[in-house]
Amino acid sequence: MEIILFIAIIILFFWIASLSNKVVVLEKRLKQGVVSSNAEKSEGYKVDEKPKEIFAPKPPVEYGQAVLSTPMTEAQQTELATNWLNRIGIVAVVLGMVFFFKYAIDQGWITPWMRIIIGFLVSGLLVYLGELWKEKYGKRAQALSGGGIALFYFTIFAAYQFYNIMPQPVAWAIMLAVAALSVCLSFRYSSLVLGVLGFFGAYGSPLMLSSGRDQQVGLIVYLTVMNIVALAICVKKFWAELLFLGLLGTIIDYLFWAHTYSSQQNTFTSIFFVILTSLLMVLGAPALLRYHRGNNAVPEFIDKNLSALYIFAGAFYFFSIWVLLNRDFHNFLAPIALLGSVIFFFAYALADRLEYRAINYCLSFAGGALLVSAALWQFDGKAQGLALLGIALLGTSLGFLAKREELRVWGLIVLFLSLFKSLFEPYAAQDEVFLFNAKFGLMFANTLAMLFVGWMYSKFPVSKFEENASDVVYATASLLLWFAVSWEIVEYLRNSESSNARNLLLSLWWVMYAVILMITGSLTRRSVFRKVSIALFALSILKVFLYDVQALDTPYRVVAFIVLGVILLSVSFSYRKNKEKIVNFLEGDTLK
């Protein structure tokens, strides 16, 4: 019975193929007949027709009367006889086979071997029909081929996992052959969808054909070969989606393996795999971009597609090395992170000057993030703040010298990160000297660095996005120094028996610093210092009149009011004497 059924399926396969060929030939003949008849009509004599009465009233249609439609043209009859009947016939045959297949399984006529063979035959039939009808139906025929590829994968998976009738090496070989077929068809049809199906099966094979044993080396070799194949395909067709799918498939396959088999013994093999994958994908993509940019064959949305690839690659590298090394091999975290930073910055150098803003930002930010991580994992305490400060100055300086916006931006971000690190850094036990201690030194170094970066922003040309960066950095530096000295006063007079000295020194410092900023703004012609100075004057006045008048004893209160009054009178006198200059100064006529 099984042999007869098998022979019948083969006969049905060839009968459908023959029928499809006949239908295609019939369609061509009918089209040629319609064209020739139209040509004969156009070459013959003209027939005098009775002129139509354009304005003649139409007879009324009574209720319930049937309205006769116009008769079908010859072309419409051809469309109905060929295309639609052909489609309906295919659907009917496929449904009949499905129902028969289910009935045969329920009756026990079809063994597992026969099911697998039928699955392969139906898959091959769909791929063959897609190839046969590619010129006639275009993308609809490609959908048939795609369905056949997907059914091939499911059939192989069922043969290995459900029925255990196919050895793993054979299943692997057949699945890779199907993936290769899918890629070949994608090139033949210029269809990205078929390429995606091929990669879906290729990267899904380690999950679908898992043997339940630890095969780390085999998995690494397989995934590396597939990633190289993805890069090789993109040499011919720059489908960045395939690179993204390859990286995503690599990550998923690795995570499923690591969840079960990752251990301290195979850690460095996994680290080698992570580095190798990053080298291939992160460096391969910009190299392909430069190659296809030279041939003017870059896809439309390549900027966004490769940006997503770099985001996933950076996240994969960072979290992989952190999970693998943080607990048992923490000393290796910093150098491995530094190596990843070198990889991403080298890729940035490859993609630079191609004017893909999103790609440049993603690569530089990924490299900068790994560089900052390496510094944080390598150093402790205040050394971390100094390392961040050095990285920030390096990034901003290179950004100004190389005229690259993304380098300046991430350098500025790291600079603010260093600032917050210095603010929240606690005082050490040996920090006993006022202003001459490590914490204040770190905050003062951040102040100088911000003033330097602000100066570079005012001297070098920058993009419209950064046009206000100079004022922001200058204002932050001014406030940081004011806060640092105020904190020093509070910290070193915290245990004093009298709070009068602390509150008086704070008021005096705020007023004197506001005067210093006003003078600095006049000398440097920077309006931002004036604005900060005015804000500190207002804050000092509020503190003296609302807080010091109640908190200070009388002698301290007298000093606070006299000093504030003298300074305000001096400022007022200077304003009257240089009114015109100061008005121009306040209006910003000669200032930036």
Q: Does 554 or 519 have the greater pLDDT score?
A: 519
Phi, psi (rounded to 5 degrees) for 67: -100, 120
Over residues 276-303, the mean pLDDT reads 85
pLDDT digits (tens, 9 = 90+) for 458-477: 888 888 888 888 999 999 99
Q: What percent of the chain has pLDDT above 70?
A: 70
**Residue type at 10?**
I
Q: Write down how long the chain is.
A: 592
| Average confidence score pLDDT of the chain | 78
Q: Does the pLDDT value for residue 315 go beyond 90?
A: yes
Over residues 301-322, the mean pLDDT reads 91
Determine the pLDDT at residue 432: 73
Determine the pLDDT at residue 426: 82
Radius of gyration of the chain (CA): 39
Q: Does 518 or 140 have the greater pLDDT score?
A: 518
Q: Does the pLDDT value for residue 326 go beyond 50?
A: yes
Q: Does the pLDDT value for residue 320 go beyond 50?
A: yes
Q: Does 375 or 551 have the greater pLDDT score?
A: 375
Q: Does the pLDDT value for residue 374 go beyond 80?
A: yes
Q: Does the pLDDT value for residue 480 go beyond 70?
A: yes
Angle at 498 between CA 492 and CA 502, to 5 degrees: 45
Most confident of the ranges 3-7, 196-200, 364-368, 588-592 = 364-368
Determine the pLDDT at residue 321: 95
The mean-pLDDT minimum among 55-64, 229-238, 377-386, 411-420 falls in 55-64
569's CB contacts (< 8 A; 6+ apart) are: none
pLDDT digits (tens, 9 = 90+) for 47-94: 444 444 444 444 544 434 444 444 555 555 555 555 555 556 555 655
Determine the pLDDT at residue 64: 41
How far apart are the C-alpha atoms of 457 and 483, rounded to whole Å? 24
The mean-pLDDT minimum among 67-76, 126-135, 204-213, 308-317 falls in 67-76
DSSP code string of 303-368: HHHHHHHHHHHHHHHHHHHHHHHTTT-GGGHHHHHHHHHHHHHHHHHHHTTS--HHHHHHHHHHHH
**Residue type at 168?**
Q
Q: Does 574 or 34 have the greater pLDDT score?
A: 574
DSSP code string of 217-262: HHHHHHHHHHHHHHHHHHHHS--HHHHHHHHHHHHHHHHHHHHHH-
Q: Per-residue confidence at 23, pLDDT binned at 50, 70, 90?
A: low
Q: Per-residue confidence at 36, pLDDT binned at 50, 70, 90?
A: low
Q: Is the dihedral of CA 473, 476, 480, 481 positive or negative?
A: positive
- Whether the CB-CB separation of 510 and 536 falls below 8 Å is answered with yes
Burial class of residue 550 in the structure, from the number of CB atoms within 10 Å of its CB (0-12 exposed, 13-18 middle, 19+ buried): exposed
The mean-pLDDT minimum among 330-344, 357-371, 448-462, 530-544 falls in 530-544
N-to-C CA span, the chain:
94
